[in-house]
A and B are shown apart, each in its own frame.
Chain A
Amino acid sequence: MSAKRLRPAAWGVVVLLAVLLPFFFNAYRVGQFTQAAALAIAVLGLNLLVGYSGQISLGHGAFFALGAYASAISITDLGVPYLLTLPIAGAVCALAGFLLGLPALRLRGLYLALVTLGVAIATPQIIKRADGLTGGTQGMSLDKITAPAWSGLADDQWLYFVTLAVAALMFVVAGFLVRGRVGRALVAIRDNEIAARTMGVDLARFKIGVFAVSAMYAGVGGALFTISIGFLAPESFPLALSFAFLAAIVVGGLATIGGALFGALFIEFVPVYAADVDEALAGVIYGGVLILFMYLLPGGVMGLVRRISSTKATPRGTDDAQAGAGHRLGGGAADAGAARERVRAQ
């Protein structure tokens, strides 16, 4: 089977498993899968930014929080039906992402990372201070979502399918985005800005644009995550969440669409199991698993998938420029950097 046919087949299997899943687990587990699907949307958003366009954000937890609160406040204070709060959360976060994207025009690498880190550090404090709106440290409770009678589903199953449907839509959109002209422009910016500009890529437009889209994904993810849990407080969005998103895109595979799924499952489940092994050592175990993972699968889960499918199919996929681009990424970006270093050294 060629890689061209393998890809739809693989996605078919993923979708089938995802649809069958809630019928084989209890409500709590289904809830965890719902949260993983919500996280996957945010992780995908970050991967568009970091993996494809090469800009680093350490502050996506802040967009996730913003989306969560935008949704929660719309539901409780404005009485908006929960599904309609998703576009609201997305729009609010897209605007915030646009504003935060402005410095990205001037700042690069670590400097941009620091700006976004500042936002992530400030977020829990800001939520606490704005207690008239956010409930402060007491947090906010949301009513449980009930499944409509016609669906014949339990509440948790219904919410899972809603989240899954939104996630599927967001994945398809992202897939089209990176496969076309936009994706090529982003990758060009990542690999060599000067070359990209020479080829006629409007750097400012794409850089800010991808920041806004990425923030929108994080916001929608945050909204769904919160609706699923039914409670949010400043502690829901610690600094560590932003780093968990970064870990997720690397675990899943940089500059891949499918990787976000694996990354999200990783950050949803591994910490829980680590705490089950030993409460006092949970952090150590989580960290250890992460290190081990990177040693064994440096290209992330999707790197492994690619390696397997490329040995089975034609070794060099001529059909798939994107896969090549993604494959190059970790190495590719580093190579470009190394080349630049060499030039400077001379």
Chain B
Amino acid sequence: MVALLTLALLASGCGRSDEGGGGGGGGGGSDPGITDKEIKLGGSYPFSGPASAYRAIADGAKAQFDFVNSKGGVDGRKISFQTLDDAYEPPKAVANARRLVEQEQVFALFNTLGTPNNLAIWDYLNQQKVPQAFVATGASSWGADVASHPYTTGWQPNYVTEAKIYADYLKKNKENAKVAVLYQNDGFGKDLLGGFEGAIEGSGVQVVAKESYEVTDPTITSQIRKLAGSGADTFLNITTPKFSALAIATIAKSDWKPLHILNNVGASKTLVLKPVGFENAKGIISTTYFKDPDSPEWADDEAMKEYKDNVKKFEPRANPSDSFTAYGWTAAATMVKALDDMKEPTRDALMDSIRSMDTEIPMLLPGINVKMDGESDGYPIEAMQIMEFDGENWKLQGDVIEAAAQDE
């Protein structure tokens, strides 16, 4: 152990002296935001505005970093995580990214939230060669073309992977399903719908009706009525939390009783199912990939206990039962692992470390790994497990299903 530590120390010492001579890795001199004592990370989250429920993700991530720091940090470096509010508005995310890079001189951006926000800053960050690691959005864009944006990676399973898993589930369990789809009319909704339509091609599963809504719509009653009238026996619900709740409530009041598949984005027990009443959500199918902090299934799990204890200790404001908090904690654990595996303290070395990851993260479901492979596989998590709501809790079903967003 001591020998290992000494080696590590020597190695880091060598790394430093090499840099003067324009050492390997392509980075050259030491990068901003990293010293022997500190690694500065930055993030942009909606702390205000309509999407401010996501702030729990930042709280969970901070708890993880504080927990790691309390154990001595990563290779002796303490992680500082500076977060700024963007109110879920892309222009503010751009201003925040510039401030974090140019003024606060962070080493990397971590887990910036929202598809439009990350699209707004990814050109800038890649021009500046600043890592935009593990963004908090499931768009399939983040891993689709690694060569054009080498400094950007997703984290959670992307929407195409998720769609393929639903298609797979139907092909196995309801091979002649007639599916009615409700989807949000933006990049997120079209990503998932496109993935699903591609995956059912050539099978007995058919999309018989699809309706869209705008995020600004007050209700979706007329869309649901049209879908119900289509004669479909399966409902694929591609919506964000507010509309997930509306859809469940509207269907509960109607006499349409389809098999209800609800996408992961809308599957929050506290935000969605509780307000509409658990009895109305019984039998809904969805997917997940990390351990649900609200489920008794994991109450005695070691990783879960560690998570809950440390959130209480380091971020007492945060609610450990909120799955967003667990999300932030788990994503941050992945970041810690990537920093730990860096061969030298440079931004390029961080990207090398991320793009060659193959690791287990304790809060992910057993059997789900973070695995990337250079330019050929730009998606960190590409497996999920089906779950069904039993009227009180989400219950995991069957095995973990792998589904790569891009076929090799």
Contacts and interface: CB of A to CB of B under 8 A. Distances in A.
A231 interface: yes
B103 interface: yes
Contact of B102 (A27, A137, A231): A27
A27 B105 CA distance: 11
A320 interface: no
Interface stretch (B62-70, B83-91, B393-401): B83-91
B148 interface: no
Contacts of B129: none
Contact of A230 (B94, B103, B186): B94
Given A28-B103, A29-B103, A279-B85, A231 B187 contact: no
Interface of B is mostly: helix
A229 interface: yes
B123 interface: yes
Contacts of A27: 98, 102-103
Interface string B222-245: 000000000000000000000000
Contact of B99 (A28, A138, A231, A232): A28
Contacts of B121: 231
Interface in B111-136: 116, 119-121, 123-124, 127
Contacts of B90: 138-139, 231, 233, 235
Interface string B71-91: 000000000000011000111
Place the interface of chain B in its size category: 20 to 34
A138 B90 CA distance: 8
A293 B137 CA distance: 42
Nearest to A237: B91
Contacts of A232: 91
A79 B84 CA distance: 34
B120 A141 contact: yes
Contacts, number: 59
A308 interface: no
Nearest to A27: B102
Contacts of A235: 89-92
A236 interface: yes
B102 A28 contact: yes
Contact of A229 (B85, B91, B103): B91
A236 to B, nearest CB: 4
A139 B127 contact: no
Contact of B85 (A28, A144, A275): A275
A233 B89 contact: yes
B383 to A, nearest CB: 29
Interface in B172-193: 186-187
B203 interface: no
Contacts of B124: 141, 144, 230-231
A26 B91 contact: no
B94 A26 contact: no
Contacts of A231: 90-91, 94, 120-121, 124
A229 B89 contact: no
Interface in A182-207: none
B299 interface: no
A236 B90 CA distance: 8
B47 interface: yes
Interface in A276-320: 279-280, 282
A67 interface: no
Contacts of B101: 28
Contacts of B119: 138
Interface string A8-47: 0000000000000000001111010000000000000000
B213 to A, nearest CB: 14
**Residue picked from A29, A144, A235, most chain B C-beta under 10 Å:** A235
A280 B87 CA distance: 11
Interface string A202-226: 0000000000000000000000000
B48 interface: yes
Contact of B116 (A137, A229, A236): A137
Contacts of A279: 47-48, 85
A231 B94 CA distance: 7
Nearest to B93: A231
Interface in A163-183: none
A231 B118 CA distance: 12
Contacts of A138: 90, 116, 119, 187
B106 to A, nearest CB: 12
B44 to A, nearest CB: 12
B14 interface: no
Interface in A213-263: 229-233, 235-236
A244 to B, nearest CB: 14
Contacts of A275: 84-85
A233 B47 CA distance: 20
A147 to B, nearest CB: 15
Contacts of A236: 91
Nearest to B45: A279
A235 B116 CA distance: 11
Contact of B103 (A26, A137, A144, A280): A26
Contacts of B102: 26-28, 31
Contacts of B51: none
A137 B188 CA distance: 13
A144 B91 contact: no
Contacts of B91: 139, 229, 231-233, 235-236
Nearest to B186: A137
A114 to B, nearest CB: 23
A280 B94 contact: no
Contacts of B103: 26-29
B10 interface: no
Nearest to A139: B90
A144 B102 CA distance: 15
A229 B94 contact: yes
B303 interface: no
11 contacts: A26-B102, A26-B103, A29-B103, A138-B187, A141-B124, A230-B94, A231-B120, A231-B121, A232-B91, A235-B90, A280-B48
Given A28-B102, A137-B116, A139-B90, 13 more contacts: A26-B102, A28-B103, A29-B103, A138-B119, A139-B116, A141-B120, A231-B124, A233-B89, A235-B90, A235-B92, A236-B91, A280-B47, A282-B85
Interface of B: 47-48, 84-85, 89-92, 94-95, 98-99, 101-103, 116, 119-121, 123-124, 127, 186-187
